[in-house]
């Protein structure tokens, strides 16, 4: 979940509620970088950022969470301008 700080409003969800205990991992491995939600060793959700290199994520001031690869956006929550 991505929440707005000022009022706690939910801005974005991975849609994986009630799938057990999970961990959010930013995998920067060379072969398959992505943002993943894992339940044990099973991926329950992941971003479509395959093939990206030098992957990093930023929660921007406009409330959008964006994954960047080599300075270019490769995936985002689409929650811009909701901050």
Q: How many domains does the chain have?
A: 1
- Ranges of residues in the chain whose predicted pLDDT is under 50: none
- Residue 65 resides in a domain: yes
What is the pLDDT at residue 80?
76
What is the pLDDT at residue 31?
66
What is the pLDDT at residue 68?
85
- Residue 81 resides in a domain: no
Strand 34-39 and strand 72-76: pairing? unpaired
Please report, for the domain that includes residue 58, its CATH number. 2.90.10
This prediction has a pTM of 0.60
- Residue 15 resides in a domain: yes
SS3 24: strand
Domain that holds residue 24: 2-76
User: What mean pLDDT value characterizes the chain?
Assistant: 75
What is the pLDDT at residue 12?
80
The rounded distance, in Å, linking the Cα atoms of 73 and 50 is 13
Angle at 62 between CA 53 and CA 36, to 5 degrees: 40
**CA nearest neighbour of 63 among 14, 24, 9:** 9
- Residue 13 resides in a domain: yes
- Residue 33 resides in a domain: yes
Torsion angle in degrees (nearest 10) through CA of 43, 47, 48, 52 = -100
- Residue 83 resides in a domain: no
What is the pLDDT at residue 71?
85
């Amino acid at each position: 979940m991505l929440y707005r700080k000022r009022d706690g409003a939910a801005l974005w969800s991975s849609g994986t509620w009630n799938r057990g205990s999970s961990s959010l991992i930013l995998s920067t491995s060379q072969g398959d970088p992505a943002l993943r939600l894992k339940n044990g060793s099973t991926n329950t959700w992941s971003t479509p950022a395959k093939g990206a290199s030098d992957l990093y994520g930023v929660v921007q001031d406009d409330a959008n969470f964006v994954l960047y690869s080599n300075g270019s956006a490769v995936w985002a929550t689409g929650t811009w301008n909701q901050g």
